[in-house]
Amino acid sequence: MIASSYRGTIGYAESSAILRKEGLELDRSTFYNLQRKDSAGSLLAQEEARLLLAYLDQPDLYVEVDEVYILDIHGQRQNREIYAIA
């Protein structure tokens, strides 16, 4: 129940830390499989790209991302647009 309440709003590392405090465990692949099943068919292109980057976030894997940050009127990062993942 705890894992499902945070799934989709926080990443694996944060979710795993919360679950560990409760004495529970969830491996990375199960976390992302549950997230994918929960949101099947409802992801926007940018959400799908971010989810893909989360899957590819492995220590022995190098991923190149073509992205642009959209700035607000104060020059602060407001949004991240991902154009390509290689």
pLDDT digits (tens, 9 = 90+) for 15-57: 888 888 888 888 888 877 777 766 555 667 787 788 888 878 7
**How many whole angstroms separate alpha carbon 26 and alpha carbon 3?**
8
Name 59's Cβ contacts closer than 8 Å, sequence gap at least 6. Answer: none
pTM: 0.43
Residue spans per domain, the chain: 1-41, 43-86
The pLDDT assigned to 37 comes to 64
